[in-house]
Structure 1
Amino acid sequence: MKKLFFLVITLLAFASIDAQILDPAKWTTAIEKKSDNTYVLTFNAVIEKDWHMYSQFTPEGGPLPLEVVFKNQKGNYTLIGKAKESKTKTAYNDIFEVNETFFEGKAQIQQEIKLTNTKISKIEAVLNYQVCKEVCINQEKKFTFIIPASTSEIVAPTVENPITEQVQADSLAPSLGEASVMQAETISAPAEVIPTEDTTTKKGLWTIFFIAFLSGFAALLTPCVFPLIPMTVSFFTKQSKTRAAGIRNAIFYGISIIVIYVVLGLIVTTIFGAGALNALSTNVWFNLIFFALLVLFAISFLGAFEIVLPNSWANKVDSQADRGGIVGILFMALALAIVSFSCTGPIVGTLLVEAASKGGIAPIVGMFGFSLALALPFMFFALFPGWLQSLPKSGGWLNTVKVFLGFIELALAFKFLSNADLVLQLHLLEREVFLAIWIAIFGTLALYLFGKITMPHDSPLTHLSVGRVMMGLVVLSFTIYMIPGLWGAPLKLISAFPPPMEYSESPHGVGGSALIPATDLPEGAKIGVHGLTIFEDYEKGLAYAKTVNKPILLDFTGYACVNCRKMENNVWSDAKIMSILKKDVVLISLYVDDKRALPKSEQFVSTSGSEIETIGDKWTDFMISRYKTNTQPLYVLTDLEGKSLNTAKPTISYVGISEYENWLKDGLSNFK
């Protein structure tokens, strides 16, 4: 009885440990014969609430995209196009600075194939994907499709085989009831994503709206638009038979402006497609073309030339505006858009470029915000004509606004050039070069605002206004703020614009005290984030720890792990944490998504049945087999025998500074 009792307790203990192995995506598969030798393979997933799984189309430099690998393809069948996906969501990731695409609730992947070997009886496939919540999990799932015999035959969906998974989690496998529900689904229809509130996407659209709204007001203060406000409002108030009619016509005029620009945004979205716009944002040619366009717009604003539409367009539209009535007012609004194009065109173009990089309906939202700001003054001044007397007179200050916008356009242009350089990894526009260009641009703008340099269309400057001096001081302060970035300062105010710290001539700063000369590095170590000395191989790190008699901090991480980067940026950067990481532990970072192949002699099959072929596979298997979990980030503080030093909480994951510090100190106090 004692032995039986001990066995039960042991099994319960292991069961509680295994429960840490998470498996948030449950898969079933189906195969349908479409025509002679042509089949559709379907992978259906149900994703647990609050988790999300990344799409095939998540761009490089971000989280790991889903990958479908067919093992027995050669000589047996060919793939027809790329695998199709069900509905996804898109949101900007400010850690990796990319627009990531992901599934929530459900996912469906469909791949059409054509047999070239009619004797083949099965299709073997593997799905590699990343699923995240507060932690991230890299999964590898193996599937086998049995080829049906008749054209009407549809093989029932099969539940994933837990024996062949990278992570064996029988306690988390779907029940028979869940499998039955999955079998009842129509496999040819896209999987419906459970509607959830995408706050990140909404924030992105609100950001686009407010930037566009402010840009619309900036456009109002240009020489092409500002003088038209009193002229147009006076036309409506004087030419209309009654004041009420004048107000009504002015309001319709404003609405017409909004409609024209929103239609422009709708056209851009329709031509390219909401998804294609997002894909274009990481395309090299897209970024290079828009870099050239923004430089062209900037040079135009600075006064080298004007970008205007053909005069014949304005004349034809203006002739239609004389027709009167609603149609005439609509053409008046169109005439405003054409006549003011030399000033509004570059702003609209920049907005469309920025909105296009966000994808979805962002171009429509951007054009609505821009046109609303442009239209409101015409409507309000029609309602309250007396306000016209308070408007400042037109003059040289309007060209100053235009030149100011030209400098801003020029600075933004280099963000697109930087994107292209990052994708190609040419290292031509590294962080220091980018910041040097921005310092030069905004430094020159400061000189312009202080009247030290002038542009071709500037009026003679007899004195500096208070507003101009204040703006000059803001720009000068911003310029000075950027200078330390040349020596490695993080520059958090503009972190989304320059290349990341690691894409730099000096990734760890110039002359920083944290930087260890390469000659002083232990064998097998490298300089990592924040200048920390890290090992990326467990055995080498363990050997060094024994020579210096320090405990080991195991950092199970990933190149594409968002929360790993957040921990490094927000927790490791704290002075107290940094002191511990530098002085008291040997840091070993093991990347579970390292796709480099292991030497053939080191490849093996794990106890869970997974083929360990890459470095990432090796560390994943190490993490699962020893610590019974599969999430990243994961931190373990061990002694020189590999035993956890934290008895109450052997491992820790995504936490705050104080909890992480207490956990480290608790473990260190147990080290002997």
Structure 2
Amino acid sequence: MMSRSALVLVAFALCGLSAPVSAQPLGDPFPKDGFAPPAGKLPAKFAKLADVSVSVTPAKVKAGETVTVRLTVAPKAGGYTYPAAPEDAKQTSRNEIELPAPGDLIFIDPVTDPALKWETKPRDADAPNGPKDQYTHQAVTWAFKAVVSPKAKSGAKSIPLDGVRLQVCDAKNCYIVGGEKLPPVEFRVEEGTSDKVNPDDLKRAQAIVNGPPPANAGPGQVEPPPASGSPVKTESRKTAKSTEAYADELKTLGTAIVPADEAGTKQTGLWGFIATAALWGLISLVTPCVFPMIPITVSIFLKQAHGSLRERLKLAGVYSLTIISVLGVSAFALLKFMAVLSTDPVTNILLGVLFLVLALSLFGMFELGLPNVLQKRLQAKQSQGGVVGTIFGALAFTVISFTCVAPFLGGFAGISAGSDGSGGDIVLPTAREIAGGLAFATAFAAPFFVLALVPGLMKALPRSGGWLDNVKVVMGFLELAAALKFLRTAELRLLPATQYFTYDLVLSGWVAISGACGLYLLNVFRLPHDEERPNIGVPRLLFALLFIGLALYLAPALLKGADGKGQRPAGAVYAWVEAFLLPEDAPVLGAKQEDVWRTDLKDALDAARKSGRPVFLDFTGVTCTNCKINERDVFPQSAIREDLQQFEKVKLYTDEVPAALYGTDPGRQVRKAEAKANGEFQNSVFKDIALPMYVVLVPQPDGAVKVLGLTEGKINDTGDFSKFLKDSLEKAKSKK
């Protein structure tokens, strides 16, 4: 038997194997080092293979002048390194160089590799004529022009290369170094006015900081308008602003926004959320870890009460309240913080590994349990009987059953994090999570109290048996599917483009899992803990057909059409699956100018002042399932699209702004910082972090911005959403 403490060690060991370390297999893309030497000091293993230097020419400058920053990687004997932009974009072995965001130094050159003769080798040893990777044993120097900010104060400057990951290899291993372990960009700004300012370079630097559109561009665009008949992108491309400037801009806008003077917001009903939480709590009762314990526990109450109804109710009440307290706190914590944790790559890796371990346990590969020492102590306390023994019995049961309860609790919290009103009530942001956590825990604990009150109801419970083993295996398949989803989400946040857990791979995994689950229920194969069953019941047959049907329904989505795009099975089921698995491609809303979505709120408000239209603000996210459902299935509908065309539309991403929305990718560091500023703006102004959230704004003549309406969550009723848009348009007209 594997103890629970051993499980924790295994889970973290697996996470350690999946996380980057200092010694990496050849071709492993951009992990961080597993240790932290002093700033600017290369790790010993890396330093044996290469030297790294950073220089600034000239090293002493005045504000507004242009400098050249050189980053050099010089491999030693037996070492080699890679380009930053290899000819084959699919080459994963490369150096990652994201230049620092505009600050005291404004980089104006893109990242390009120096002109040298790169060596090549087959990417796959078994395919010598296949794709080849570029590498070199020579010293490589990347040179970048940068302008010292006109606002830079005099003094010594040190800029860390947080967005740089350098890789060197030898015949056995590859090593990665980046961030604070690299030498910083160091120079000194002297006082006084310079006569060496390059006007063209300064103009380019100011454009990067301020992002002004060219003279022939439409409002909020960086690119000129397309020729007649040319398609218009659904989201206007832009130039990245400095992180501080963008955050300050949002703070200024936030102070100008005033709430509506009437009930203009739509929140999801609290009672519906509570009912959903209770339903998930009840479903988790029908699991192998929980269901058999219900009659056993109630029998203990009956025995200890010695026929006294009062004593029986006291023990059942203490038992239930203990479960509600422990499980309720866990549920509240998950509901409260899942919206934030669900986008964190480390959290998703941990959850993916944990669900994989739980799935293998449910399949019968090993058994999970409490450590022997803790189990003996709990049994000793429980054997004392009375209130104390009942409390420890409830604690032991809650911990043991968490193996089966956790997937349901985590699933409910994860769905709620991106569902209607995940942020809760605007005035009391925690009331919703508290109510949901208590509802889940109370529904889970209720049978113990009810059966203690009316013991005769136990006769109506189905007997434990082989059907619970079937439930256990089906849960294992579901947890395996969830593990793939978590690992995909983590990779989306870690790498510029998915290489391993792609949408196609995860979807094919779901097809295989669904098909295997159906075949298992049909008794085509058995697992170690299964009983011999010559026949199956009707419910099991129906569930088997359901899983096999789901596999057949999803399978066509793996096939590509002539245009290279996957087929989309009709219906709401595939729409949900597609959005849940976070496809790489962006939705196409149309080819008219009215369909352009800005990604800068200030630009949208400026355009609204000129056009007289209200602003439709969409808080969204790359990893937000319900955002994608709305964008793919609701916004393109002709009636909704017609309504949206009467707004100035803007999207603010709160997890990471996609690189495709910029004219030139400023680097993940800048894109994440901009998204963080968007999220802080949403939370500070609207007291909510729900995704998606839709807000209608109208700029006023006095500079204020009026909130006319707010709604959030998955759009289940398009008619209701259309009414929200039309009502907002009417309110906007009345405010003129």
- Larger RCO (CA within 8 A; separation ≥ 6): 2
TM-score w.r.t. length of structure 2:
0.44
Q: TM-score, normalised by structure 1?
A: 0.48
